A and B are shown apart, each in its own frame.
Chain A
Amino acid sequence: MTERATLGASHFVGSALRTVTFVIAEAVRSADPTRIVLVFSLIVLSGCSRPSHVTVGSKVFTESVLLGEIATQLGTASNVSVIYRRQLGGTRILWDALLKAEIDVYPEYTGTLTNEIFAGKGLQGETAIRQALAERGIEMTHSLGFNDTYALGMREETARKLNIKTISDLRSHPDLRLGFSSEFLDRGDGYPSLRDAYRLNLPHVTGLDHDLAYRALVSGSIDVTDLYSTDAEIAENHLRVLQDDLHHFPDYQAIFLYRSDLRHRAPQMIAALARLEGRINESAMIAMNADAKIHKVPEARIASDFLSRKLGVSAISDFQGFWSRLASRTWEHLQLVSVSLLAAILIAIPLGIIAAAYPRMGQIILGGVAAIYTIPSLALLVFMIPILGIGWEPAVVALFLYSLLPIARNTYTGLHGIPSPVRESAAALGLPRLAQLVLVELPLASPAILAGIQTSAVLNVGTATLGALIGAGGYGQPILTGIRLDSHPMILEGAIPAAVLALVVQGGFELAGRVAVPKGLRMRSRENTN
């Protein structure tokens, strides 16, 4: 019994080896698909080296992006190697990233620390805050010089008509439509506690992006929104800031949080941040916000102007020209798409093969990858953050997961569609199972498999633009900035290259099809189309 099993096993190993060497020899002879794989691998390898730097992060709104830019430029001018990962997300994402050392520095507000990050701990005063931060290996600068508190605002005209001056006055107007930024709706110091403090009972409350809220307010689709007191739009759009008559909102002094380990890693960075303490007053911040949002001055230029004016620092900020900016984003985008796609090809084709060979397991596999596919991309990206943090890795993993379905599904369909007489002819020749698969079934299924890869690649080019939301860069970066600054040219700077890249990828696969799909199969498809 054992002897026979051993014989069977050694026979299997022998035939498997023979198949593998035969397949390699064939591939070298004809070369086409291998070459494609090689090109992909080169792209992957070249994207994998990442040296260590001080990383500055910022939240998704303009003021945070500007402060991050200022810190970055001042750090660079102080001979620190600084990487800036702008507009990464909301408070939770930035705070978690700081704790996990994915970023080293980001601008924050004292009110957010006491009421949101350390909510419920009842921290009073700067010493208590510093103590709580120190326990987590975090330190903070002194105030940068301005208080950017939360406020509620309305159109001046509506407020005058309804005679609303304070937040308490809202109580008598239950038909007002309130539109709040998602973060304000959820956070401890935001709407929930405001509603309780003022005993507001207003039925029409919706959530929307902070930058879109202004447009909604001006266009009249909402009546009340949350503001930051240094927002440039307040004056620009003739808005009335409602008086916080019950003194609900705490102080939101702007500060920088940084990791304590910078003390030995990059003490110059801490010194640079200290130079900003007390140097930015409220009107200076409003002016900078207005330059960015209303006058569309590039943030890097606003920051360098500020540094040279206030600190006499000539910051070496590299204002990238359009083409070099486009080139670096294209490179980032290609890395996202190609690495995730290559990984998906390596995993999904075997999954499709297993699904075709074992019907019951096939149901589970195809059901599983289809279920992943139905998760909204934004949600999937956010799910990735606790596991993989922010940046390149979670974006690649999310794109990889999305790519599985089209490839696995098409591999399965392609193999399943091979007529059984053809399959049986291959078996009857006396080819071992693996050789039947590699020499006959996969080549016959190759048009379907390639079409699946093509679908995944084109979808990935589009989906990868969302990667910018979690700091992965790419074409999504200008789109995100464009939405924040309400700048259509900026949005197009990301959207057009993304569309062009999708077309190029589509065309590239059409060409690859001519090389990788065996000639005998292409003829058949020509016959069918005629």
Chain B
Amino acid sequence: MIELRGISKTYDSAFALKGLDLRFESRRTTVLIGPSGCGKSTLLRLLAGLIHPDRGDIQFDGERLTPENLIPLRRRMGYVIQEGGLFAHLTARGNIILMARFLRWPPDRIRSRLEELSRLTRLPLPMLDRYPVELSGGQRQRVSLMRGLMLDPQVLLLDEPLGALDPMVRHDLQTDLKQIFGELKKTVVLVTHDIAEAGFLGDQIVLLREGKIVQCGALIDLVDHPAEEFVVKFINAQRGSLEILGRNANG
């Protein structure tokens, strides 16, 4: 379980997050959503320790995130970003196993873990000999996911992982992600601006606006019991894609 207490963060004197309290339940998928600039990516970056809060603290299973324990805690998290953030000088395999090799995993263990991940992400093993430039956008995202999962972390953080993909590839990956999350039962925090994606993947949705939480709950709660006018407006703006999602689910 991840717990955030009284988190504030400012950038250039503008508030990105204002006194946030939030809890991410273990083995559940939480989606952070909201309009641009609402603070959803800032929140994710705080969890990964890439930036530090001005006030408040973050706890992983009761352990406070501090500069001293940042590195061991990061090894218990996987982090996947838009476009993948792959290292161009390494092959897909080199990217995925970099950390495991740094920690001196025996080659057998690395090999069997790669096979598991290859099955899970549906990316054939021979593909891993390619360099990032030789892979498609969707393949790169699968490699990035494998890299994030290599050490079998308890927590998986994804920052708009499908944001840069074309709709067909995106649809395939959404389906695969849902299956992977269901199979692995990890604590997942995912950032998106797409309400359909949020509803499809998330057990819990956290709607943010101007650095504050507007509402927390399942998509159905947000639709049926909006906490304020903004929730209705935000959902209605993307209703078209929701209906398509509904049709797909029914059909």
Contact = CB atoms under 8 A, between A and B. Distances in A.
A440 B82 CA distance: 19
B131 A424 contact: no
A421 B161 CA distance: 12
Nearest to B91: A520
Interface size class of A (residues with CB under 8 A): 20 to 34
A8 B77 CA distance: 21
Given A424-B81, A429-B147, A18 B102 contact: yes
B50 A429 contact: no
B48 interface: yes
Contacts of A7: 68
Given A428-B48, A430-B74, A432-B71, A519 B79 contact: no
B105 interface: no
Contact of A430 (B45, B75, B81, B82): B75
B90 interface: yes
Nearest to B79: A428
A521 B88 contact: yes
Nearest to B83: A421
A431 B99 contact: yes
A424 B85 contact: yes
B230 interface: no
A444 B88 contact: yes
The 6 closest A-B pairs by CB, nearest first: A425-B85, A518-B89, A520-B131, A428-B79, A430-B74, A430-B75
Given A22-B102, A439-B98, A523-B134, A430 B71 contact: yes
A229 to B, nearest CB: 69
B119 to A, nearest CB: 22
A377 interface: no
B132 interface: yes
B133 interface: yes
Interface in B56-87: 68, 71-75, 77, 79, 81-83, 85-87
Given A7-B68, A429-B147, A430-B71, A424 B98 contact: no
A15 B102 CA distance: 10
B71 A444 contact: no
A520 B133 contact: yes
19 contacts: A15-B71, A18-B102, A19-B102, A422-B88, A424-B48, A424-B85, A428-B157, A430-B71, A430-B74, A430-B75, A430-B77, A443-B87, A444-B89, A518-B88, A518-B90, A520-B131, A521-B88, A523-B133, A527-B133
A237 to B, nearest CB: 66
B89 A520 contact: yes
In this complex, which of A19, A425, A521 has the most chain B Cβ atoms within 10 angstroms of its Cβ? A425
A41 B75 CA distance: 39
Contacts of A428: 48-50, 74, 77, 79, 157
In this complex, which of B49, B72, B85, B157 has the most chain A Cβ atoms within 10 angstroms of its Cβ? B85
Contacts of B74: 427-430
B102 A421 contact: no
A69 to B, nearest CB: 57
B89 A443 contact: yes
In this complex, which of B50, B81, B87, B157 has the most chain A Cβ atoms within 10 angstroms of its Cβ? B87
B169 to A, nearest CB: 19
Contacts of A435: 102
Contacts of A523: 131, 133-134
Contact of A422 (B45, B50, B85): B85
Nearest to A15: B71
Interface string A441-459: 0011010000000000000
A527 to B, nearest CB: 6
Contacts of A4: 68
A426 interface: yes
A247 interface: no
Interface string B131-159: 11110000000001001000100000100
Given A8-B68, A520-B131, A429 B89 contact: no
Contacts of A431: 71, 98-99, 102
A429 B87 CA distance: 12
Contacts of B87: 422, 425-426, 440, 443-444
Given A429-B79, A429-B99, A430-B72, A520 B132 contact: yes
A488 interface: no
Contacts of A121: none
A439 B133 CA distance: 19
A419 B134 CA distance: 19
Given A427-B49, A520-B91, 6 more contacts: A7-B68, A422-B85, A424-B48, A424-B81, A431-B71, A444-B87
B89 A521 contact: yes
B189 to A, nearest CB: 13
Contacts of B81: 421, 424-425
Interface string A408-439: 00000000000101101111111110010001
A11 interface: yes
Interface string A28-43: 0000000000000000
Nearest to A21: B104
A128 B134 CA distance: 84
A11 B86 CA distance: 27
Contacts of A432: 71
A369 B50 CA distance: 32
Contact of B50 (A11, A419, A424, A524): A424
A428 B50 CA distance: 7
Contacts of A444: 87-89
A520 B93 CA distance: 12
Contacts of A443: 87, 89
Nearest to A526: B133
In this complex, which of A11, A19, A435, A520 has the most chain B Cβ atoms within 10 angstroms of its Cβ? A520
In this complex, which of A19, A427, A446 has the most chain B Cβ atoms within 10 angstroms of its Cβ? A427
